[in-house]
Amino acid sequence: MRILFLSDNYPPETNAPASRLSEHARHWIDAGAEVRVLTTAPNFPAGVIFPGYDNRWWRLEEMDGVQVGRVKTYVTANSGFLKRTLDYISFGVAGLFAGLLQPRPDVICATTPQFFCALFGLILAKLRRVPFVLELRDLWPESIRVVGAVKHDWMLRPFEWLETLLYRYSDRIVTVTESFAKRLIARGVDPNKIDVVINGVELDRYAPQPRDAALAAEAGTSDRFVVGYVGTHGMAHALDNVLAAAALLRPDEPITFLLVGDGARRQALMEQAQQQGLNHVAFLPPQPKARMPAVWSLCDVALVHLKDDPLFETVIPSKIFEAMGMGLPQILALPQGEGARLALQAGWGCGSRRRTPRRWPMRRARSTKIRQSANRWPTPPLRRRRDSVANVRRCACWMCCATPPV
């Protein structure tokens, strides 16, 4: 089977869409598929092209057997509604024209939350006369409204129309949570064309390991109890609350909140921590994907943090799976929805109301107690759910279902 996949993000970027697609693509190739990805020059989330790349009209490279075509786009940081919209549209248009010049695939896939990527993927599939599979990773544009990225609801109406069009004309829709599927069905989408393939983690890479001494020295956490947040520092994550928690600690408490990653709010958070003299907060810049297990090894507890809004009850942050693989207990500072239930049922997390950060340090003893038994595997069903290989196979099956027999 020949798969053409459109995605705004791909390694060496390290966010969830890039990681999920690259893992899937490698396993599809191992299963005998031919995979080609159309994407941008790596620049997420700071809007700065990564070393070794440039924003040229076309660049083709091979990564782990995947043919990766990179197109020229308008590049901007992951902040500002209008600039990001221009970024998304430019990739959609460039990806469409590049897709017309590729060998004819058996199926075309595109991922959200950037619906312009999905829209031009759908148009490309119609022009190439092949089935289209939509991967739904976020309830966009509703999430734009929730994080306050736009001031007026009327600005989102064209995107809501686009959302409805995509749901209607996709041959298959793959969602990453059960909650997303329920929302689609409630909006009249045919349940027979929806499947749920949640995120997972590669268990041969993410496993309990000793603390990386060199990286701990770099982060200044060698002799500290570390509560680690690893991921995007965006508007949806409300990480100001982490600084509020750090401000409640006594100066002599050997606890550090370690924030690793980048995003629209990172610079503001660093400035705020410096202004307040928060010695219990440390920052590390984004790390290469290959280094992520070493980053997690610095942590005694993983922090999963999202804005306190009902919309985020529908999501399962991918860091939950990585922390589970590393054998880390988790403080779940997020709405009590699907993600929180998954970690709690597996016995790997303890809930925390986001608005009361003063309670977080008190969970140190409890988290330590959890970690003493953290090397145990979850129950078999939950282990299967966090194993990304099984999820990749299910996703491939759905692409085969979307492809008519020859």
111 belongs to a structural domain: yes
Structural domain harbouring 240: 213-377
360 and 272 share a domain? yes
100 in helix, strand or coil? helix
In a domain, 251, yes or no: yes
Same domain, 146 and 275: no
One domain for residues 346 and 392: no
Same domain, 234 and 137: no
Question: Do the domain assignments include residue 205?
Answer: no
Q: Are 139 and 115 in contact (CB under 8 A)?
A: no
Residues 257 and 282 in one domain: yes
Per-residue confidence (pLDDT) for residue 58, from 0 to 100: 97
Answer yes or no: do 91 and 170 share one domain: yes
Given this model, what pLDDT does residue 397 score? 46
208 belongs to a structural domain: no
> DSSP letters along 247-289, please?
HTS-TT--EEEEEE---TTHHHHHHHHHHTT-TTEEEE----G
Closest CA relative to residue 66, chosen from 96, 104, 39? 39
179 lies in the same domain as 36: yes
As for how many domains the chain has, the answer is: 2
Residue 150, pLDDT score = 63
| Same domain for 262 and 153 | no
Which domain CATH number covers 163? 3.40.50.2000
Judge contact between 205 and 211, C-beta under 8 A: no
Residue 136 region by backbone torsions, left for phi larger than 0, else alpha for psi between -120 and 50, else beta:
beta
Does residue 254 lie in a domain region? Answer: yes
Cα–Cα distance for residue pair 7/20, rounded to 1 Å:
11
| 260 and 331 share one domain | yes
Residue 92: predicted pLDDT? 93
Is residue 9 in a domain?
Answer: yes
Same domain assignment for residues 178 and 218: no
Give the side-chain half-sphere CA count within 13 A for 211: 19
- Comparing CA positions, the residue from 375, 379, 334 lying closest to residue 353 is 334
- C-alpha 315/C-alpha 139 separation (Å) is 9
- Output the CA torsion 27→73→266→362 (10° steps): -30
> Mean pLDDT for each consecutive 10-residue tract of the chain (406 residues)?
96 88 91 96 90 95 96 84 85 96 96 87 97 89 63 70 89 92 92 90 89 93 93 88 90 92 90 94 91 95 88 86 91 84 75 56 44 42 46 48 43
Instruction: State how far the Cα of 294 lies from the Cα of 219, in Å rounded to an integer.
Output: 12
Per residue in 82-115, is it b (16+ CB within 10 Å) or e — as a string? Answer: eebbbbbbbbbebbbebbeebeebbbbbbbbbbb
Same domain, 61 and 189: yes
Residue 347 lies in a domain: yes
| pLDDT for res 151 | 66
Residue 62 lies in a domain: yes
Residues 297 and 362 in one domain: yes
